[in-house]
Amino acid sequence: MSRSEGQENGRTSPGAGSLAHRVPDLGALELLLAVARLGSLGAAAREVGITQPAASSRIRSMERQLGVALVDRSLRGSRLTDAGVLVTDWARRVVEAAEAFDAGAQALRDRRDSRLRVAASMTIAEYLLPGWLLALRAGRPDTAVSLLAGNSAAVAERLLSDEADLGFVEGLTVPTGLDSVVVAHDHLVVVTAPGHPWARRRRPLPAAELAATPLVLREKGSGTRQVLDAALGGLARPLIELSSTTAVKASAVGGAGPAVLSELAVGEELATRRLVSVPVDGVRLRRDLRAVWRTGHRPAGPARELLGLTRKSPKGR
């Protein structure tokens, strides 16, 4: 039947339009069930938490929508009409189905909230995430958290393959397919063992000399290396290439050569003089630390709470 055939004298046929426009909403159906059970519109209004005038208006609106009278009102109370009895029986089935739908949705939320998979680049995993996860555990002791640590490229791969719910990276750019927000800032520092010639310099190290010097570096794909390479416009061939911040730091402490590391990672070593910070002239070694997630999948449940905790952290400002 065409649209014009479905209309007669300006009136839309009962089957026209979307179901949402033809079927009363759940709130109206719950109110009708309360009237049937309590025999009073006022008592039904109190049960569902609205005023009696609002309840009367909702019943009238439902009657207009369905085209039948549902409730007879009198000084002695409210009584369902014959049509109202039928509609109430149908309403009960709809509400029961909605309750089953709600219970199923809650089960899905409970399943989601029972675990959190986090992927993080090495510096964040070692020096920031432990505090954030302890704070999360205080509010969600039943959530099982797994942490996958790797370089920034590996974090992106975990998220894009749905192996992680939330990630943290240190690189300059956000990979395609991911959304992000900055949660903290970090500075990279050039460090050497106390016996290295750079440790005795009286003037800052020129950026060009740093770029031309073989360094102890993280592997390609790490956020630290990306930032350093971009800031210097290129790097010399690495003296040693290692896959973790801890390994790079240990090599520098052992005198293997200079390294560039997050200030978060070398605070203790600088304080005890096992490493010496070397000022650099003509380059800015500052980077943003970001939380990342798959585009269109804004963090929810424990992932959203963890993201909120990173914004409250003093190191996240």
Digit-coded pLDDT (tens) for 257-285: 999 999 999 999 999 999 999 999 989 89
- 94, 111, 128 - which closes a domain: 111
The pLDDT of residue 196 is: 96
The 10s digit of each residue's pLDDT in 10-67 is 444 545 567 778 889 999 999 999 999 998 888 999 999 999 999 999 999 999 999 9
- Mean pLDDT score across all residues of the chain: 87
- Is residue 185 in some structural domain? yes
* Kind of pairing between the strands at 144-150 and 115-121: parallel
Find the length of the chain.
317
Answer yes or no: is pLDDT of 191 > 60. Answer: yes
Residue 111, judged by CB atoms within 10 A of its CB (0-12, 13-18, 19+), counts as: exposed
Q: Are residues 220 and 93 in the same domain?
A: no
Which phi and psi angles does 227 have, rounded to 5°?
Answer: -65, -45
Q: Are residues 141 and 286 in the same domain?
A: yes
Question: What is the C-alpha to C-alpha distance for residues 305 and 294, in angstroms, rounded to an integer?
Answer: 17
Residue 14, judged by CB atoms within 10 A of its CB (0-12, 13-18, 19+), counts as: exposed
Q: What is the mean pLDDT of residues 206-219?
A: 94
Q: Are residues 78 and 167 in the same domain?
A: no
Query: For residue 111, what pLDDT band results from cuts at 50, 70 and 90?
Result: low
Task: Identify the residue with better confidence: 173 or 138.
Answer: 138
pTM for the model: 0.62
The pLDDT of residue 34 is: 92
The pLDDT of residue 262 is: 92
Q: Are residues 133 and 194 in the same domain?
A: yes
The continuous run of DSSP H or E covering 135 comes out as helix 129-139
Q: Output the domain CATH number for residue 165.
A: 3.40.190.290
Cβ atoms of 62 and 28 within 8 Å: the answer is yes
- Domain residue limits at 262: 115-316
Q: Are residues 128 and 258 in the same domain?
A: yes
- The number of distinct structural domains making up the chain is 2
